[in-house]
Structure 1
Amino acid sequence: MDFQLTEDQEALRSGVRELLAGRFPRERLRAAVDGAGPVVDRGLWRELGEAGFFGLRLPEDEGGVGLGLPEAVLLFEEAGRVLLPGPLIATHLAAGLVAGAASGERVVGMCDATAEERFWEHPADCDELIFLGDDEPYSVDPSAPAVTPVRSVDPLTPLARVVVPEGGRPLAGDAARLRREAALLTAAEQLGSAVRTVETAVSYAKERTQFDRPIGSFQAVKHLCAQMLVRAEVARSAVYAAAVTQEPGDIAAAKLLADEAAVHNARDCLQVHGGMGFTWEADVHLHLKRAWVRAQRWQSTAAGEEALAEELLSEGNVMV
């Protein structure tokens, strides 16, 4: 099976990277972190909708782009690189289920109603909330559920604990499929962050000097950067493969590997930066904090390990 990107996929990734570089540069990220700008920019949200970010997988006759899950993974990998905030995955998955989601006119949140701990991202920014039940998803007004704000380690990911309300508007969808896709797209964001921290560490190691030599010439730093690259590329292979197969076990493995790559790469990037990496002005801590939050969203490590073990132990997959 060939996992090399096609010319169209390369063009899609390049186009999204160019769009985000122009509309969400580092200055916008820092402004949002410091409270000088909105976390969820409605203007940018609509621009993403016009560019097909949310309606990427909708059929063309329904106003979408008509592409698939592998292409969606490329989009969310780029979003993860720049730490684009907001309930992007929820709104993307809501395209075709909620009017205005595909165009970016409405910001949609999503919550797993079957989870022991139910959390909702960006509660103050959402126009609609989707709960994923045992079988079907259903929609409620954001003011309907009882919510308790939860302090988030990531300044750009506000969280609230949610009590599932009774009733709601049923939506025509498969809740289990939406959970799997949410886990895969979260893994894609983690992958983008892991790749970005590799680039950041290597760039800093080339510029920072110690004893009149770039620190990148020191063996210990070389080893750190090499380990970061290996983690990112292993995670990339798993995420891209899971986007093609869409098998639950493959998605669980991809999420586990991407979580590990994002968290450990951010830590190693911080190590390469030394004392500078611990400052508020450096972006390294933002990647680490977002990676921590994502690792607990849409299939935590424990849940992923259970899902993968169940897949491996199922009939026909056990070697005697």
Structure 2
Amino acid sequence: MRIGILTGGGDCPGLNAVIRAVVRKGVGELGDEVVGFRDGWRGVLEDDSVPLDLASVRGLLPRGGTVLGTSRTNPFAVEDGPERVLGTLRRSGVDALVPIGGEDTLGVAAKLAETGGIRVVGVPKTIDNDLDATDYTFGFDTAVGVAMEAIDRLHTTGDSHHRTLVVEVMGRHAGWIALHAGMAGGANVILIPEHPFDVDAVVAHVRHRFDSGFSPIVVVSEGAKPRDGAMVLSTGEKDAFGHVRLGGVGPALAALIEERTGREARAVVLGHVQRGGTPSPFDRVLATRFGLAAVTAVHAGETGVMVALHGTDIVRVPLAEATAQLKLVPAERYAEAEVFFG
């Protein structure tokens, strides 16, 4: 069997572990051929690929990013894009495609699977952990670890200078990184997109923390916004999937807190640091299991499915179900964190 593989969307720790697992099982155990398309859906559109053999995946397990490259190319936003994709796959002799990505990359995969032109088995990837139908996505654990370590370090410098530190983390629509990193790092306020925040309450929590003799740490998702609608910041630029580029809530909130409290406040924007570097042990194992399961699903004749983590088991779920809606932080999970505010 000839299997195609691509990595789309934002880079993510663990992508190379999936590639390695697909090749090790497909080529090494089942006698498959594996071809990697460069830079996500762009590589399929432009017929830009590279053969993957056992030698090519040696040493990939601990390596961050993706050796295949990635992009936010959307074939459905390009003239004749879907037809060009299917044409490339036919000419390449690809029997099945394993796209690795989040809601956008797998959303394209779901549409292609519906055409019946190619067998598709998706692998979930996003540091935001917002892909539905799976308990966790690889990359999330690594991102939380990076953010938590930053928060741990900021506690001491904040207390030394008696200032508020606002830590902005990734999370456009879902606040999973902020929630987990904030709870693990002992943040005094956690602000997420699912729950618009009350500026007065944030300032009150900050003052309470100062009154207790310590300096406050505020963790905020990039997509968080106040109830009154102010401070919703973006560049106005959009990607191929229509997402507006966000950024700036951390510095804006720090300036507001400094103005309201009369005490110095600084913002730390972690940005792409959360996506880079070597994956955590959890992400290495999860990504490996996903890659192995994807090859098994391909050989079972499956299509239009995604491998997913349910509890400790790897299962198959419909791609349409996985991409129908985002997995957001439920109110009861946020309420757990609120116990520690202030």
User: Which structure has more strand as a fraction of its residues?
Assistant: 2
User: Which structure has more helix as a fraction of its residues?
Assistant: 1
User: Considering only CA atoms, is the larger Rg found in Structure 1 or Structure 2?
Assistant: 2
Which of structures 1 and 2 has the larger relative contact order (alpha carbons within 8 angstroms, sep 6+)?
2
Question: Structure 2-normalised TM-score?
Answer: 0.25
Question: Structure 1-normalised TM-score?
Answer: 0.26
